Amino acid sequence: MLGVAVSTLRKWEETGELLPARKTAGGTRYYAVSDLLGIGNEDAPTVCYARVSSHDQKADLERQHAMLESYCAAKGWRCEVIRDLGSGMNYHKKGLNRLLEMILRKQMKRLVITHKDRLLRFGSELVFAMCAAQNIEIVIIHKDDQPSFEEELAKDVLEIITVFSARLYGSRSKKNRQLLEALKEAAG
């Protein structure tokens, strides 16, 4: 269930991080599912997620990080911040995948984001549904600052154009052309 080796479970028992519910005379360990999934674990962290689309926005990423940490500190929540750099349409970001894994394993108490679109441009409702299924609270700090339908639509169209333009220009790059020529020569 946890995806760890038996030696890791032994180490966690030695350090007191995860104790078996019972242990047989022969040394077989039995764990409560609620302990493994963290259900009812009041010590589970609040996870904050910050994302920007490009390297040019690194300063905004730092501001998001600071805002999330100070918000959680004001509420008295122990938090962990996951940061990502990449398009809101890219579902293969390292931080997003880590966040999804934590949601599926219920390794968090709540998810805090600054704006809804910081999570994903499309599909954030699916992540919110996963959180609801796992009884994970969702906090959106700037919920009242939601853009109008027209503003949101314009942002979505620009995001789509940006992603597809980057793919198109990437396929026309000198490096890709040289690679294609080398492959043609090797095949010919």
Quote the number of domains for the chain: 3
Domain check: are 11 and 50 in the same one?
Answer: no
> Does some domain include residue 182?
no
Q: Which of 138, 132, 123 shows the shortest CA–CA distance to 87?
A: 123
| Mean pLDDT score of the chain | 82
Find the range with the poorest average confidence among 15-24, 87-96, 121-130.
Answer: 87-96
Q: Model-level pTM?
A: 0.60
Tell me the C-alpha distance between 99 and 111, whole Å: 9
> Does some domain include residue 188?
no
> Does some domain include residue 79?
yes
DSSP secondary structure letter of residue 22: E
Domain check: are 53 and 137 in the same one?
Answer: yes
Domain check: are 50 and 138 in the same one?
Answer: yes
> Does some domain include residue 1?
no
Domain check: are 121 and 139 in the same one?
Answer: yes
Domain check: are 141 and 153 in the same one?
Answer: no
* Model pLDDT, residue 118: 78
* Model pLDDT, residue 163: 66
Residue that wins the pLDDT comparison between 39 and 125: 125
| Residues belonging to the active site | 53
Segment 142-149 mean pLDDT: 71
44 touches 36 (CB < 8 A) = no
> Does some domain include residue 184?
no
Domain check: are 13 and 78 in the same one?
Answer: no
DSSP secondary structure letter of residue 18: S
pLDDT in tens, 55-106: 888 899 999 999 999 999 999 998 999 999 887 667 788 999 999 999 998 8
Domain check: are 106 and 161 in the same one?
Answer: no
Domain check: are 55 and 138 in the same one?
Answer: yes
Domain that holds residue 67: 46-145
> Does some domain include residue 65?
yes
Helix (H, G, I), strand (E, B) or coil at 184: helix
Domain check: are 141 and 53 in the same one?
Answer: yes
Residue-by-residue DSSP string for 78-98:
-EEEEEEES-TT-S--HHHHH
pLDDT in tens, 4-14: 788 888 888 88
